[in-house]
Amino acid sequence: MNSQGNTTSVKVIIIGGVAGGASCAARLRRLDEQAEILMVERGPYVSYANCGLPYHVGGVIEKESSLLVADADTFRSQFAIDVKTGCEAINISPEAKTVELRDLATGIVTTAAYDKLVLSPGAASIRPPLPGIDLPGIFQVRTVPDARAIREWIERGSLFLTGMDRYSGFQTVKPKIRAVVIGGGFIGLETAENLVHRGFDVTLVEMLDQVLAPLDLEMARIVEGYVEHHGIRLALNDGVAGFRQAANGSLAVLTKSGKTHPADIVILALGVRPDTTLAKTAGLEIGGRGGIRVDGQMRTSQPDIFAVGDAVEVKDFVTGEWSLIALAGPANRQGRIAADVIAGRQSRFRGTQGTSIIGLFGAAAAWVGASEKTLKRIGDGDYEKIYLYPNSHAGYYPGAKPIALKVLFRKSDGRLLGAQAVGEDGVDKRISTLAMAIQMGATIYDLEEAELCYAPQFGSAKDPVNFAGMVAADILRGDMPLSHWDSAENGFLLDVRQPPELAVEQVPGAVNIPLNQLRSRLGELPRDCEIHVVCRSGQRAYYATRILLQNGFKAQTISGGLLSRSMLVADTLLDTDVSR
C-alpha cells in the first residue's frame, strides 16, 4: 500500500536525470515505496554537478568523479529507481500515456507506459549557425563530456614543452594560450576566470553593453572593472559574426563590428533556451517566453504530465510576470514539488525570485528580485532605489571590505522589490537574507528591525541589511529626501567632503563646505532652490541634509555619493575604505 492508501502502484517516468529529474525521483521514492519509477537520461551520467564544470575546466575541482553526486547504481540500490542512461525520450503520446525511448547505443526504440510523467529536460545551449562554429578548438561548457573535451585540449596544448627539457631560458618560454569566451553571462564569466587561473590570455566578447544581464548597468560596471583588473579583456557591445581557422590551427573570432580576436581556444557561452522538443511532441502548452507552461504544482497543460527546471516558465515572485529561470535551486525545489503532488500532497511553487550569485577572483556579485531595468520595462514607476557601501563587517576588525549594495523598494508601501550587491566579502549572506525577506513580503521597515547575528568579524551592530532598511525608511519617512546623479547634476551641488579629498576627486560645479563647518557657514547657501548634497558614499551628505532641513533649507542627499557614479566605483571599490 502506498502513502495514499492505494494498493496499486503508480507508474512514473521521469525524463532527464540531473537537477530537477533526480531530485524528483529521490523525493518520490521517499514518499511512496510502491511507486514504479523509471528515470531516463540521454547523457552518460545522472545527478552530476553542472555548476562545478567551469571549476573542473580550471582545475579547482581536479577529479571528474567529484562532479558525480550520485550515480545510476546509487539510484538503483538506495532508491529502487530504474535508471536508463544513454537513452533518449523521443515522443510522448498523452492519449495512450506512453513514451517512446531510444537506446542511443543500439538505436532500438521501445515504448514505456506511465500514469504520471515528469519532464526535466533542462535547457539547450544557444548555438547560432555562424560560419565556422563547428571548427575544432571551439567548445561549450554544459556537460561532463564538454568539460572533459576542454581539459583534454588544454592538456594536449601543454605538450608544447615535451622533448624540450634540454633547452633553457627564453627557448622554453611558452607563449600564452589565447582564449576567447563568447558570452558574458555567469557560465562565460566563470569559465573566463578559470582560464585566467590556468594562465591563459582571455578575451570575453559580449553582444550587450554589459556583462551579467540581470544586473543593472552601473552594478555590472563594477564587475567589469574588477574582472578587467584581474586580466580578462572585455569586448562589449559586439556580437560574433563567425570563426576562421588558419593553416597552423589557430582560430580567429570575427565580430559584427569588423574586429578579429585571435584565439587558440574558443568557449561558447551564448546562453540557453528551454529544451521543449519533447514537450512539443505531446502538444503541451508553450508560453510566450518559450518555456513549458506549468501551474503552481508544476502541472503542464496535460494534467498527468509535470515539468520542472530550466525547461519551464514560472511566475516571477516580484513582478508576477512569466519568467524563465535557469538555476539549480528552483529546478531542485520544483522537482521536489512535482514528486509531492504525484504522491498526493498539496505543495506549491511560490514563484521565482532569480536569486543568483557568481564568484569572480575572490569577489562576488549577487542579485535577487526585480532589477531597476525590469521595473522600467514593465512600466512600474512606484519604486525608489538606494545605493550604499557598508563594510562587510565592523571596520575596526581587520579584513572588512566594502559591499556595493543597491536596494529597490516600493515608494508607496516600502515593500522590498530587489537587491544587487558586489564585493569581496559578505555579499552572499546579505543577498540571501534579502531574498528571504522578499519571499516573506517584507518591507524596508522590516529590514530596519531585522535582528541579525553580530560579532565584529562577521558583521556590524547595524548590519548592511539593517542599514539598507534605515536609509530607505529615512527616505519614505521624509527624513532624508533623496536625489540621484541624473537629476542632481543640473541643480545646486553642495560637496561636504574635506579639502584633501577634493584633490583626489572633484565634483564639477559643486560648492565645497566640509560637514564640520556647515553649521557656521549656512549663510553661504541659497534658500530658494533644492540643494543636492554629496560626499563620497552618502553618509556625511545625509548628516548635512539633516542640518539643512532643520534650518529651513530644501535639501536632498545624492544616493551613494561619488561612489554611485558608476565608473568611479569600478576603480575605487577594489581596496579603499569607503565607509565614510
Ligand X SMILES: Cc1cc2nc3c(=O)[nH]c(=O)nc-3n(C[C@H](O)[C@H](O)[C@H](O)COP(=O)(O)OP(=O)(O)OC[C@H]3O[C@@H](n4cnc5c(N)ncnc54)[C@H](O)[C@@H]3O)c2cc1C
Indicate the helix (H) or strand (E) that contains 335: helix 328-342
Neighbours of 499 (CB within 10 A): 8
Coil, helix or strand for 457?
A: coil
The cell for 567 is 565608473
Q: Does 19 bind ligand X (CB under 6 A)?
A: yes
Length of the chain: 580
Buried b (16+ CB within 10 A) or exposed e, 358-379: bbbeebbbbbbbbbbebbeeee
Among 14, 18, 61, 180, binds ligand X (CB under 6 A): 18
Q: How far is the CB of 532 from ligand X (least distance, A)?
A: 40
The reply to whether 548 sits near ligand X by the rule CB under 6 A is: no
| Unique residue bearing C-alpha cell 545522472 | 46
To ligand X, the closest distance from the beta carbon of 102 in angstroms equals 9
Q: Is residue 32 near ligand X by the rule CB under 6 A?
A: no
Smallest distance from the beta carbon of 357 to ligand X, in angstroms?
8
| Residue closer to ligand X, measured from CB, 245 or 432 | 432
Nearest distance in Å: CB 294, ligand X? 12
Per CB under 6 A, which of residues 508..537 are in contact with ligand X? none
327 within 8 A of 285, measured Cβ to Cβ: no
Q: How far is the CB of 187 from ligand X (least distance, A)?
A: 5
Give 538's contacts (C-beta < 8 A, 6+ positions apart).
387, 388, 389, 471, 557, 558, 559, 560, 561, 563, 564
Q: How far is the CB of 370 from ligand X (least distance, A)?
A: 18
State which of residues 32, 275, 372, 448 lies at the interface with ligand X (CB under 6 A). Answer: 275
The stretch near ligand X (CB under 6 A) out of 28-36, 47-55, 522-530, 560-568 is: 47-55
Among 270, 318, 331, 510, interactor with ligand X by CB under 6 A: 331
* Binds ligand X (CB under 6 A): choice among 61, 204, 327, 548: 327
Hunting for cell 529626501 — which residue is that?
481
Query: Residue 278, interface with ligand X (CB under 6 A)?
Result: yes
- What's the CA gap between 514 and 518, in Å, rounded? 6
Cβ proximity to ligand X, 146 vs 448, nearer residue: 146
Is the Cβ–Cβ distance between 25 and 37 less than 8 Å? yes
Query: If you search the block for the grid coordinates 498527468, which residue do you land on?
Result: 304
- Which helix (H) or strand (E) element contains residue 549? helix 539-550
Q: How far is the CB of 258 from ligand X (least distance, A)?
A: 31
Question: Quick check: 336 binds ligand X (CB under 6 A)?
Answer: no
Tell whether the torsion through CA atoms of 121, 127, 128 and 131 is positive or negative.
negative
- Rank residues 27 and 42 by Cβ distance to ligand X and give the closer one: 42
- Supply the Cα-derived Rg of the chain in whole angstroms: 27
- Pick from 187, 363, 421, 534 the residue near ligand X by CB under 6 A: 187
CB of 557 to ligand X, least distance (A): 36
Residues 81-140 that bind ligand X (CB under 6 A): 88-89, 120-122
Alpha helices in 32-166 (DSSP H): 53-57, 72-79, 144-157
Work out how close the CB of 206 gets to ligand X at its nearest, in angstroms, rounded to a whole number: 17
| 3-state secondary structure at position 301 | coil
Backbone phi, psi, residue 225, to 5°: -60, -40
- What whole-number distance in Å separates Cα of residue 334 and Cα of residue 218? 33
Minimum distance of ligand X from residue 248's CB (angstroms): 30
Task: Report whether 1 contacts 34 (CB < 8 A).
Answer: yes
Quick one: which segment of 45-53, 109-117, 232-240, 418-426 binds ligand X (CB under 6 A)? 45-53
Distance CA 432, CA 444 (A): 15
Does residue 41 interact with ligand X by CB under 6 A?
yes
Interface with ligand X includes 424 (CB under 6 A)?
A: no
How many of the other CB atoms lie within 10 Å of CB of 390?
29
Measure the CA–CA gap between 454 and 554, rounded to whole angstroms: 37
Nearer to ligand X, 188 or 464 (CB): 188
Counting DSSP H helices and E strands in the chain, the numbers are 16, 31
* Residue 328 contacts ligand X per CB under 6 A: yes
Residue that is written with C-alpha cell 541579525 in the block: 452
Nearest-approach distance from CB 189 to ligand X, in angstroms: 11
Candidates 13-21, 197-205, 236-244, 499-507 — which segment interacts with ligand X by CB under 6 A?
13-21
Residue closer to ligand X, measured from CB, 349 or 542: 349
Q: Is 69 in the site for ligand X (CB under 6 A)?
A: no
Choose between 327 and 534: whose C-beta lies nearer to ligand X.
Answer: 327
For ligand X, which stretch binds (CB under 6 A), given 11-19, 60-68, 382-390, 495-503?
11-19
Q: How far apart are CA 57 and CA 154, in angstroms?
A: 9
3-state DSSP call for residue 382?
Answer: coil
Q: Which of 29, 142, 393, 497 binds ligand X (CB under 6 A)?
A: 142
Member of 37, 50, 294, 569 binding ligand X (CB under 6 A): 50
Report, in Å, the least distance between residue 351 CB and ligand X. 16
End-to-end, the C-alpha distance of the chain in Å comes to 66
Q: Which three cell numbers stand for residue 560?
A: 551613494
Q: Give the nearest distance from C-beta 395 to ligand X in angstroms.
A: 31
Q: Taking contact as CB under 6 A, which single stretch among the options 307-315, 374-382, 526-534, 565-573 is the one that binds ligand X? A: 307-315
Q: Footprint of ligand X on this chain (CB under 6 A)?
A: 15-16, 18-21, 40-43, 50-51, 53-54, 88-89, 120-122, 141-142, 187, 275, 278, 309-311, 326-329, 331
